[in-house]
Every structure is written in structure tokens, then in C-alpha cells.
Structure 1
Amino acid sequence: MPPFHLHLVRHGQSTWNVEGRLQGQAHHPDLTDLGLSQAHDAAALLAERVTGSVTIVSSDLVRARRTADAIAAVLGVEVVFDPDLREQSLGELEGRLTSDLTAEPTPQGTHISEVRWGGGESLEDVHGRLAAPIDRATTSDHEHVVWVTHGDTMRVALARLAGRSHREVEWDPIANGAVVSVTVPRD
């Protein structure tokens, strides 16, 4: 089977991005006016890149849902919501201001990507969680799959798609509203 194009979209700027709060899987932070504009810009870019059949799969968190809705309006397809595309859970750290946090040491003998900060998920957990949506995308009949998701989830997905482990995630910043497109072989 021919490869497909996976377009990973980071949600637009949220109210908590502006406030400097850790979002994780907090459901309710909404988009700002700038975030909505970024969602429309992502939609316009995808309209240029997507030719042929397309499906949009989105995290079910509000900031991603609102971004996906803007994209769906332009591409003319319905959105499928998938909790597997949520951001890394940060447990009790969610909602806290980043400026109020203090650095904690990584437990001896544990790689930083395997720590469940705040009682949430480790990057290893997210890496494992993304196996299912990657498999669903790979077995899709669509030429283009658009994922509307979150920054850390995108970085982990890109590592997994490149055959890298949870310990090999690249941490280059991904801007709100960014679209990263990759060609993925099918099995």
C-alpha cells in the first residue's frame, strides 16, 4: 500500500498558555483570540497541503477540539475525537503556574522520561499510548490524516514514528498552531 501523509497540528494558544499554567490533561482551558487565529491559519495551510481523502482526528480536550473544528470547517470533514491524542497527564501539577514550580531531582537509576511527575504519565507512558492511534492511522484508507493534538504529544509521536524510543524525544519548541507533516509508510 502507498504511504499516507500525517499532519500533526498543535492546538492554538490557550488561556493557560498565556497564564503560564501547566495544562496536561486539564479539559477546560479554551483558546484565546490569537489561538483561534492560529487555528484558522493552520486550517488554511492544511487546505494547501491536503489533496485527496482526509480524516481529522483530535484530542478531546477543549483547546484541541476548538482547533480541530476550525480545520474541519475548511476541509469539509467531521472530526473524530480520540483521548489517546491528549497531552501528557501531569497529575497534581496541572493548573499550577510554571513560575511557582521548583526543580525536583530525577530519582536515582531512573531516566527522566520514565518519571511520572505529579503522579501523571511519564513520556514512556505517552510513547506507549501513541501506538494505538499510529496503528489506526496506518490502517486508515485515507491519503491524509490530520491529528490535532498537543506539543509534548507531537514530540513523542514524531520520535515514535521515526523509530526512536521515549528516551530519544527531541525537545525543539513547537509553536501553537504549528503544522508538522510527515509521510508514513503503511505495513
Structure 2
Amino acid sequence: MGSASLATQPSPAAFLPSLPARGRLSLRPAPPHSPPHLRKRAGKLRVLTIKAAQSGVNNVSVESPPGNEASVTGAAYGFRGATTSLTNEILTSSKKITLVRHGLSSWNAESRVQGSSNLSVLTETGAKQAEKCRDALANMKFDVCFSSPISRAKSTAEIIWKGKEEPLIFLDSLKEAHLFFLEGMTNADAKKEYPELYIRWREDPANFQVNGIYPVRKLWGTAREAWKEILLTPGENMLVVTHKSILRALICTALGLPPERFRSIDVNNGGMCVFTVNKRGEAMLQALNMTAHMYSDHTYQY
């Protein structure tokens, strides 16, 4: 029997941009014998390249991610420039940060405005929620725990961290927003006595202000301070226990969201969020408000 040979066609990759060592894009035209759809694709790429050059986009980085950064990005190419550095300096290693909101407090249960007050304390239910957090993280190894020094968060952290030799560090930058004379008032009373102020706090928090002080906008600066303190501390796996408003600010600043997005994110009592941060201090959100452990014996390993 005679042997048959199949005609081979050029690979589509042959018509994609080549990447020279200096990192600038160049484009080889499709050969005239190539299929029409590949010639069309190469033509589109050529137009895009010309437009990019005309707009000044000619400094595309093609460097490989340093060290173990591929594992941080899920083996993706990397994300230089895709997010903003939280440290503005190179870290010694990539990091994993687990954020936890404190357990149910007395003022949570009474529907009171809490803010930075230290008078709201962890309830019996809140203590059990903290125990659930501890059990859910039993298989995780953390290098350090950071906590707000305010009572309800401090008590939650102490329950989660009980028996561990690693340091428990209290940061003022993890304190909750200061809400002035609204603190301690029930939401119903605050809405009745200060309707305009309360509605602004609930519906336009970025522009809520008392005597020229904007608590939520100030919280964004505090969150950036907290990120630097956390990420510049030696270690690769960090636990952070704090409050809902500062948690919102931590999440939003890591994602590059402004104070106007304050109420676009929610975290339940005992809820957990996870970020990975590469060596350039750029954060990637891995999990938001994990609560499976609140309703079962679920344990986490990540």
C-alpha cells in the first residue's frame, strides 16, 4: 500500500506577536498561503499594534514574575501594574493575609452604633463564634496575629490565638472608625434625633462628617497604614482580627476602591476574607466573607 501524507498548515502561533529580548512587540505578517482566517487575525493584531504605538503604549513589560510569585497568581503570568502596591517597597516574600471580623458584640445584639467605643463587649454568642473561627483555622499555621486593641476584637483574637506561641500584636491602625456622639445610640434613636446626619452615615458614608472630620475618608488612610505595618512584618502567613468598617477599608484599599464604595462590601461577625500579596505589595482577593464555619464544623486549608 502506498503511504499518504497530510498537508500541514502553519500553526496559529506563527502569526502571533513575537517578543524580542528588549520587550517590544513586533508582528510578522501572515504568509500569503496561510488560511484566510489567520491572515485576518494577523491583520487585526497589526492594527492594534499600530494604535498602541500611536497612543504611546510602547513599554510593555515581559519580565517573568520573581521567585514564587507564580504560585501567588495561580500560575498566571503575573499582574505588574494591574493593582497598586500597598507598601511601595519590595517585600522579602509573598504573603497570605486572613482577615477576621470579631464575634457578636453587646452593641451588635442591641442594634447600637459602635464606632471606636470600648464599651461594647464580646457576648457569649460572640465568644462561641470566635471558638468556631479558631477551630476552622486549626489546620492553618500563622506566623503572627494582628488585632485591634478595642475590647470586642481583642477578646476575639485572644480566643482564636489561645495556646499559641507566635506573637499577638495589637495595632491602633486596626481600630474602628470614630463616630462621635452617635456611638452608643440605638440606630432607631440616632435616626430620630439626628435624621440628616444618620441618613448621611447610612446612605452616603464617604461624605458623612462631623465638625469637618470625615470618618470614612480618614479610615482609608488608617487602612493603608495598617497594611504597611502588617506586610512589612516578617512572616508569610498572617491573621488579622478587627471590625467591619476598618475591614471594609482594608478590602477596598487593597482593591483600589474609593471611600464611595464603603458599603459595597459586607463581612459578617466571624466572617473571614483572604488575600495573597506578591513581593511588590500588590494584593489579590482570594475569598470574601467565608462563613461556612459559622454553621458547621467546616475547617479551612488554603
Q: Same fold (TM over 0.5)?
A: yes
- Give 1:38's aligned residue: 129
Q: Does 1:16 find its partner at 2:107?
A: yes
Ranked by relative contact order (alpha carbons within 8 Å, sequence separation 6 or more), the top structure is 1
TM-score by length of 1: 0.87
Q: Report if aligned partners of 2:206, 2:217 keep a CA contact under 8 Å in 1.
A: yes
Q: Match of 1:65, as an amino acid?
A: K
Aligned pair partner of 2:148 in 59, 71, 86: 59
Mind listing any 5+ residue stretches in structure 1 that lack a counterpart? Answer: none
Q: Match of 2:264, as an amino acid?
A: W
- Give 2:242's aligned residue: 149
CA deviation after TM superposition for structure 1 residue 117, in Å? 5.0
CA deviation after TM superposition for structure 1 residue 162, in Å? 1.0
Q: Report if aligned partners of 2:146, 2:230 keep a CA contact under 8 Å in 1.
A: no
Deviations 1:59-89 (A, max 9, x none): 0100001000011115443311111101111
Structure 1 stretch displaced more, 71-80 or 121-130 = 71-80
Larger of the two Rg values belongs to structure: 2
Deviations 1:120-177 (A, max 9, x none): 6521100011111101222122111111100111111100011222223353431111
Q: Report if aligned partners of 1:10, 1:179 keep a CA contact under 8 Å in 2.
A: yes
3-state SS of paired residue (2:161): helix
Aligned length: 181
Q: In 1, distance between residues paired with 2:137 and 2:151?
A: 21
Seen in structure 2, the aligned counterparts of structure 1 residues 94 and 149 have a Cα distance that, compared at 3 Å, is same
Q: Does 1:84 find its partner at 2:177?
A: no
- Give 2:223's aligned residue: 130
Q: In 2, distance between residues paired with 1:144 and 1:170?
A: 28
Seen in structure 2, the aligned counterparts of structure 1 residues 129 and 41 have a Cα distance that, compared at 3 Å, is same
TM-score by length of 2: 0.56
Mind listing any 5+ residue stretches in structure 2 that lack a counterpart? Answer: 1-91, 281-302
- Give the percent of matched residue pairs that are identical in Structure 1 and Structure 2: 26
Q: In 2, distance between residues paired with 1:150 and 1:60?
A: 11
Q: Report if aligned partners of 2:96, 2:238 keep a CA contact under 8 Å in 1.
A: yes
Deviations 1:20-53 (A, max 9, x none): 11110111221111100111111122223x33x5
- Give 1:69's aligned residue: 158
Q: In 1, distance between residues paired with 2:230 and 2:124?
A: 31
Runs of 4+ off more than 6 Å = none
